[in-house]
Each structure stands twice: as C-alpha cells, then as structure tokens.
C-alpha cells in the first residue's frame, strides 16, 4: 500500500488519505475499510471510504478515505443517511 496524500485536519479531528494498492479484482468498501484500518492501526468503525477508483485492465486501485480520531467525531461530522417518507411515518 502506497500513501499518496496524508492530510491531518485538526478542525474536524480526522485524516484525509489517498493511497494506491493492488487487488486481483474490485475489492469493495468493506475489504478496503479493513485494509486501511489495519495499515494505520485504527478501529474500522472510525474509517469512512469515499472512493475506490481503478482503470480498465489494471489491478492497482486508488483509494480515498477519512480516518476519524473517534466514533463520536465521525457521527458529528459525517452526514446521516436519509430516511424514506414511508419509514418516517411509522
């Protein structure tokens, strides 16, 4: 895993990282989250994967993620998922 950008945002208590890593196929967000958490030695609950970009015929993927200092900071900064109207009425 090669880290291209590692920016520590002290105001939002997080690290914005961009890195590249080789996989045999498209890894998916769960596998990338676990790989990033083990590489930076943080909890997987504090990692938010933004993007997984790969080229056609290339096994190297560019990964973008945010690593928060704690779960509380993640919950206060990241947007919450929207609730459908049908579920909200119940």
| Stated pTM of the model | 0.83
pLDDT, residue 87, reads 64
Domain 2-89 has CATH 3.30.70.3370: yes
Q: Are strands 60-68 and 14-22 parallel, antiparallel or unpaired?
A: antiparallel
Tens digit of each residue's pLDDT, the chain (90 residues): 899 999 999 999 999 999 999 999 999 999 999 999 999 999 999 999 999 999 888 999 999 999 999 999 999 999 888 877 776 666
pLDDT, residue 83, reads 79
């Amino acid at each position: 895993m090669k880290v291209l950008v590692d920016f520590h945002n002290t105001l939002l208590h997080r690290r914005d990282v961009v890195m590249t890593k080789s996989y045999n196929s498209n890894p998916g967000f769960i596998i990338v989250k676990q790989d990033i958490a083990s590489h930076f030695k943080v909890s997987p609950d504090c990692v938010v994967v933004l993007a997984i970009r790969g080229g056609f015929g290339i096994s190297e993927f560019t990964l973008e993620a945010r690593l928060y200092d704690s779960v509380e900071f993640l919950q206060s900064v990241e947007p919450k998922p929207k609730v459908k109207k049908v579920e909200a009425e119940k």
